Structure 1
Amino acid sequence: MPKNIISIQSQVASGYVGNNIAGFAIQLHGIDLTLLPTVFLSAHTGHPVIFGEAISPALLSDLVKGIGAINIPADADYLISGFCNLPENIDIIANAVLQYPHLKFVYDPVFGDFHCGGLYFEEAIAHYSVNRLLPYARILTPNHWELEFILKKKFQTIDELRAAIEQNDLLTDKTIILTSANLTDTPPDVMEVVLIRQNTFTRFNGPKIALETTGTGDLFTAIVTSQLTLQKSLEDAIRIAMNFIHHTLSYVQSVNEKELSAAALMKHVHLLH
C-alpha cells in the first residue's frame, strides 16, 4: 500500500484549513503525508486580521525537488492540490504532476464560494488555475460556485449541469465530485454531493448542519483521497466523508463552537475505518 499522500495547498499557523486539516485527516486514516505549502498565513482568510504571504516559487520548487530527491513520490498514489494564489506556484504544481505521471491528481479548485461573495483572489488567477491544472486532473472536487465558474455557466438542475458539462471539452472525460450542490430540488436541510463520471450522475444526500465553517471542503477532499488510497470505491469514499463531516459539525455545534477542532476530529475517527 502507498505510504503517503502528497498535498500542495495552504498552511496556517492556527486553525484547520488547507494542509492543516488535510494533513490531520490523512493521518487519522493511518496514512503518512507529504505537505507542501502554497501560502503560510497566521489564520484562515475568514478572520478579520491575518498576516503571512504566498510561499516563494523558489522555495516551493526546492521543496518539490527535495521530496523527489528522497523518492517520496514513489510511495504515493495521489497528489492533492488546493488553495494557490500565485501563477508561478500553479506552474510548479502542474510541473510536479507531469514529473510524476503515476500520481493520480486530485484538483480542488479552492478559489471561491457563495458565502464569501465569490472569489478569494483575482479572477485572472482563478482562470489561470483552471487552464493550467484542470487538464491534468483525474478527479476534481469543486463546490457549486466553483463549478459554475469553471463552466462559465450557472446551473440549477441536473439536466442543466449535464448540458453544460457536455459542452465543455475539459470536463467531458473527468471525474467530478460536486460538493455543496445547491440545486432547485435540493431540500434546504440536506447536504448534497453529486458524483459525475462517464456521463452518469449519482446524487448523495445527508442531513445538513446549519453551521458555516471554513475547511470542510479541504477535509472532504482529504478524506475521499485517503479512502481511495485504502482501496475503497469512490461511492463509499464519498459516503464516508459526508458522514464524518456531518458528525464532526454536529459536535462543533453542540459545544457552541464555530471552527473545526482537534477534539471534533478525534471524537469521530472511528467513522473513517
Structure 2
Amino acid sequence: MKILSIQSAVAYGHVGNSAAVFPLQRIGVEVLPVYTVNFSNHTGYGAWRGPMIDPSDVSEIIAGIEDRGVFPQIDVVLSGYQGGEGIADVIIDTVAKVKAANPNAIYACDPVMGNAKSGCFVAPAIPILLRERVVPVADIITPNQFELGFLTETDPDTIESTLASADLARAMGPSTVLVTSVERPDREDDTIEMMVVTDAGAWIVQTPQLPMKANGSGDVTAALFTAHFTRTGDAADALARTASSVFDLLTTTLESGERELQLVESQEFYAEPRMQFTARQVR
C-alpha cells in the first residue's frame, strides 16, 4: 500500500506527518510525505519557528512525484491540518489526478478544526472551506465529535444523534465517517469512545479516558484507521485495531511523564495491537 500524506511537519515532537508517517511505516505502508508547514514544534506551545509552505511549493513537490509516474500506484491520499486557505485547492487537485491515474484510490480527510475544550483553533475560513469544498470530495473523514457537529451544523452527543450527524456528513460525499472523542452523557465514568459509520453499518468502541492531552494522537488515529480499513474493508476490525494501538501509545506517553507522544517507544503496539478493545455494532 502507498499513501500520499499531505500534512504539517515538526522537528520536535509528533503531529501531522511527524505523527502519522512512522506508525504507517511500522505496519508496512509506504508513505510519501508532503509537508504543508515545517515548524520547529507544534503550535500548542504558543511559540514556534519555521515556515508555512506556500501552496505553489506544495503543488510543485506533488508535481515532481507525478513526474516519477507514481500516481497509478497510490492507494490513498491522506490530509490533515491545513494551515492556510490555498492548500485546499492543492489537495483537491491532487485527489482528482490520483483518482484519474488509479480509479480505486481513495481520499481520507482529517478535517482538523478544533475540539470541544478549546473550540476552533484554525483560521476562520478553514472550517467553511472544509465543509463546502474539501469534505465533499473525500471518501473517508475522521472528525472528532466537535468537528462533526460543525460540519453538519448539529450538536451530536448521544449515540443516536452522533449517528444522525454522521449520516448527514455521509450525505455530503464521504462514504465512511470515523468520529473520535465521542463523549455521551450516559457513557460509563472515565471512558471515551470512537464510532465508525459506513454503508455496511456502524460500530462503537469504548476505552478508558486517560487524564492527559496529547497533541498528534488524532493524526495517528486517522492514519492507522485509514490504512487498516483500506487493507481489509472491515470497519469494525479497523476500529478495534486503531483504538488498541492508540490507547497503548497514550498510556506509554502518560507513564513517561513527557508532553510529546512516545511514538517510537510505542512501535510494537502498531505492528502487533493487543486487541484489548472490541467494537460493538450499534446499527
TM-score (norm 2): 0.88
1: CA distance, partners of 2:224 / 2:169:
28
2: CA distance, partners of 1:262 / 1:163:
34
Identity rate, percent: 27
Matches within 5 A, 1:1-273: 2=1, 4-101=2-99, 102=103, 103-115=105-117, 117-165=118-166, 170-171=171-172, 174-198=175-199, 200-231=201-232, 233-272=234-273
Deviation at 1:232, TM superposition (A): 5.7
1: CA distance, partners of 2:178 / 2:80:
14
String of CA shifts for 1:167-213, please: whole Å, max 9, x gaps: 56744763111011011222342220111123843211122222211
State which drifts further: 80-89 or 167-176: 167-176
Runs of 5+ consecutive residues of structure 2 not aligned to the other structure:
275-283
1: CA distance, partners of 2:248 / 2:46:
28
2: CA distance, partners of 1:173 / 1:89:
20
State which drifts further: 126-135 or 190-199: 190-199
Distance change (3 Å), C-alpha of 1:171 and 1:55: same
Distance change (3 Å), C-alpha of 1:156 and 1:172: farther
Secondary structure at the counterpart of residue 232 of structure 2: coil
2: CA distance, partners of 1:182 / 1:223:
21
2: CA distance, partners of 1:20 / 1:247:
18
1: CA distance, partners of 2:25 / 2:272:
14
Deviation at 1:69, TM superposition (A): 0.7
2: CA distance, partners of 1:123 / 1:32:
34
Secondary structure at the counterpart of residue 54 of structure 1: coil
Deviation at 1:19, TM superposition (A): 0.2
**8 Å CA contact retained: 1:6, 1:73:** no
Distance change (3 Å), C-alpha of 1:172 and 1:200: farther
Q: How many residue pairs end up in the alignment? A: 270
Distance change (3 Å), C-alpha of 1:169 and 1:219: closer
String of CA shifts for 1:104-132, please: whole Å, max 9, x gaps: 000101121123x2112222222112211
Secondary structure at the counterpart of residue 110 of structure 1: coil
Deviation at 1:18, TM superposition (A): 0.3
Deviation at 1:82, TM superposition (A): 0.3
Distance change (3 Å), C-alpha of 1:55 and 1:223: same
2: CA distance, partners of 1:172 / 1:88:
21
**Partner of residue 277, structure 2:** none
String of CA shifts for 1:224-250, please: whole Å, max 9, x gaps: 122234436222111111101111111
**8 Å CA contact retained: 2:249, 2:263:** no
**8 Å CA contact retained: 1:240, 1:272:** yes
1: CA distance, partners of 2:108 / 2:268:
27
Distance change (3 Å), C-alpha of 1:75 and 1:207: same
**8 Å CA contact retained: 2:74, 2:98:** no
Cα-Cα RMSD: 2.1
**8 Å CA contact retained: 1:157, 1:183:** yes
State which drifts further: 21-30 or 183-192: 183-192
